[in-house]
Amino acid sequence: MIPIPISVLSSLFPIYLCQMAKIISKYFIAWVPSEALFDQVHQLKLKLKDTFGLKYALKSPPHITLKMPFSWNEAKEGILIEKVKEFSNNLKPFSIQIDGFDRFGKRVIFVRVNENKDLIALQSSLTTFCKQELKLVSELSDRNYHPHMTIAFKDIKERQFDLYFSFLSTLSIQAQDQVDSISLLKRIEGRWEVVYQVFFTT
C-alpha cells in the first residue's frame, strides 16, 4: 500500500470537513396548537388509524402549516432558528376557530379552520419574509393558502374515502384556540419533530 503524503491529506481534510458539514434536511414552519386542541386532533388521527389503518398523518404533530417544507443545510440550523425568532419579534396573539371536517378531493381529510384574516396575514408575511431573508421559493401552496389541520393523507384509499368521511360524521370537533407562537419542525428519521418554538409578545 502506497502511503499518502501528509501534505496531500492536509489539503483534502478541509474539503472532507466541508462535505461532512453540508447535510441537507427538510424543515417547515407551522403553528402547533395548545395542549387541549393538540390532544383532540391527535385522538382523531388515532381513531382513523385504529379503524382504517390510516397512520401517515401521525408522522407529524397536529399543526397548521405556515411555510411549506423546504430544504436547508443542517449546519446552518442556528441561522434558521434566529430568522424564525426575528420574524416573530413584533407578532401579537390572536384567536382562531376550529369547526368540523373537510377534504381536498379524495386525497386529504382535515379539520376545518374558520376563515381568519389574522392567520392569512401571518402566513402571507411569513412567505414574504422567507423569500427575502432565507431565499426560499414561494410554493404554489404558499400562494394559494388554505389553512387546515390534516388528519389523513398519503395512505388514503380512494375507494374507501366515502367510508372514512361517513365515519367522521359520527364525530365532531369544535374549538377556539390562541395563535401565540410559531414552530420550526424538522424531518428526523421519517417523522416531523418540533425543534424550535417561539412565543409572541403579549
Task: Quote the pTM value.
Answer: 0.88
pLDDT(5) > 90: no
What was the pLDDT predicted at 191? 98
**Which has more pLDDT, 62 or 137?**
62
Is residue 7 one of the residues assigned to a domain? no
HSE (CB half, 13 Å, CA atoms) of 77? 17
pLDDT of residue 11: 55
156 has pLDDT over 90: yes
**Residue 57, pLDDT score:** 98
At residue 35, the pLDDT reads 97
Does 94 reside within a domain? yes
Task: Classify residue 147: in a domain, yes or no.
Answer: yes
DSSP secondary structure code for residue 160 in this structure = G
Asked whether residue 4 is domain-assigned, the answer is no
- Please indicate, yes or no, if residue 15 is contained in any of the structural domains: no
Report how far apart the first and last C-alpha atoms of the chain are (Å, whole number): 67
> Any idea what the CATH number is for the domain that residue 68 is in?
3.90.1140.10
Query: What pLDDT is attached to residue 139?
Result: 81
For residue 132, pLDDT over 50 is answered with yes
Position 14 in a domain: no
Confidence of residue 113 (pLDDT cuts 50, 70, 90): very high
- pLDDT confidence of residue 140: 79
For the residues 92-96, what does the mean pLDDT come to? 98
CA distance 82 to 103: 35
Q: Per the structure, how many domains does the chain have?
A: 1
pLDDT value at position 17?
A: 46
For residue 195, tell me if it sits in a domain. Answer: yes
Q: Please compute, for residue 157, the number of CA atoms within 13 A of its CA located in the half-sphere on the CB side.
A: 9
Q: pLDDT tens for residues 76-86? A: 999 999 999 99
Confidence of residue 141 (pLDDT cuts 50, 70, 90): confident
Averaged pLDDT, 146-166? 96
Domain with 41 in it? 26-199
In a domain, 63, yes or no: yes
